[in-house]
Amino acid sequence: MLRVEDTEQAPVEFSAALIAKFDDIKSRYPEGKQKSALLPILHETQAEFGWLSAPSMDKVAAYLDILPIEVYEVATFYTMYFMRPQGKYVLEVCRTGPCCLVGAEKIMDYIEQQLGVKEGEVTPDGLFSWRGVECLAACGFGPVLQIGPEYTFYENLTTQSVDTLIADLKAKANN
């Protein structure tokens, strides 16, 4: 249960470009089956705003002509949708068996230490959060992590490559 006062729930506006994307997605399904567009549309909405606030989900519901609760039900079921604001970059590290065989747990500890925040928290500069996620289907190249919204992959992680990655992202954000 999300409490409204927990997070800012400011009204949102969908740009014409975003609506155009929605229209394109909606055209993939038969007449009357527009609810099928819900998952891809939530991805687009999250890519735009960084997370899914209740007002943004309500707008999606209105766009697809479904009940708001239908959107909440779906958004909370799937792990990729953020119900709270996150860092600009969310480092999602695979924590499932095969990656653990090759050191994923150490990488997670290292990231926690480097970023100085616990799993799910946001760094004070707002740049990073991190979390363990389940199998990313890249077991042969573990440990792996991914960063949304395009879910770029970083494979065969070492503490050095994590250092480089964090430095690169910081530089990118400051430019």
Partner 1 sequence: MGRKLLLEHINVPGINTLEVYRQKGGYAAVEKALKTLTPDEVVEEVKKSGLRGRGGAGFPTGMKWSFLAKPEGVPRYLVCNADESEPGTFKDRYLMTYIPHLLIEGMIVASYALGANTSYIYVRGEMMPQIRILERAIAEAKNAGLLGKNILGTGYDLELYVQPGGGAYICGEETALLESLEGKRGNPRIKPPFPAIAGLYGCPTVVNNVESIAAVVPIINEGGDEYAKIGIGRSTGTKLISASGNLNKPGVYEIELGVPVEEFIYSDEYCGGIANGKRLKAVVAGGSSVPILPANLILKTINNEARLMSYESLSDGGFATGSMMGSGGFIAFDEDQCIVRNTWNFSRFYHHESCGQCSPCREGTGWMEKVLHRLEYGHGKMSDMDLLVDVSKKIEGNTICPLGDAAAWPVASAIRHFRDEFEWHVTNAAEATTRNYGLAHYADPLPKVEKAEA
Partner 2 sequence: MKVTIDGITVDVEPGTSILNAARQIGGDIVPPAMCYYSKLEGSGGKCRTCLVKVSKGSEKDPRPMPKLVASCRTTVMDGMEVQNITSPEVIEARKGVVEMLLINHPLDCPVCDQAGECHLQDLGYEHGAAKTRYEFDRRTFEKIDIGDKIQLHMTRCILCYRCVFTADQITNTRLHGILNRGDHSEISTYIQKAVDNDFSGNVIDVCPVGALTDKTFRFKNRVWFTKPVEAHRDCDKCCGKVTLWYKGEDVIRVTGRKDVYGEVEEFICNTCRFEKKKTADWTIEGPRKVSHKSVISANHYETMKPLPVVKTNPLLQEANKEQFERETRL
**Of all helices (H) and strands (E), which one includes residue 146?**
strand 145-147
Closest CA to 86 of 55, 49, 54, 58: 49
List Cα–Cα distances, 68 to 4, 6, 61, 73, in angstroms.
15, 19, 5, 9
Q: What is the token pair recorded at 126?
A: 């707002």
- Residue 3 interacting entry, from partner 2, partner 1, none, C-beta within 5 to 8 Å by type: partner 2
- Residue 80 interacting entry, from partner 2, partner 1, none, C-beta within 5 to 8 Å by type: partner 1
For 144: left if phi > 0, alpha if psi spans -120 to 50, otherwise beta; the answer is: beta
2-61 residues in contact with partner 1 (CB under 8 A) are: 28, 30, 33, 35-40, 42-43
- Residue 54 interacting entry, from partner 1, partner 2, none, C-beta within 5 to 8 Å by type: partner 2
Among 67, 101, 109, 151, binds partner 2 (CB under 8 A): 67
What order do you get walking across the sheet with 145-147 strand by strand? 128-133, 89-94, 145-147, 152-154
Looking from the CA of 74 toward its CB, the CA atoms found within 13 Å total: 19
Among 49, 51, 72, 141, binds partner 2 (CB under 8 A): 72
- Would you say 4 or 16 has its CB closer to partner 2? 4
Q: Residue numbers of the site for partner 1 (CB under 8 A)? A: 28, 30, 33, 35-40, 42-43, 64, 66, 70, 73-74, 77-81, 95-98, 100-102, 133-142, 146, 148-153
Which parts of this chain interact with partner 2 (CB under 8 A)? Answer: 1-4, 9, 54, 67-70, 72-73, 76-77
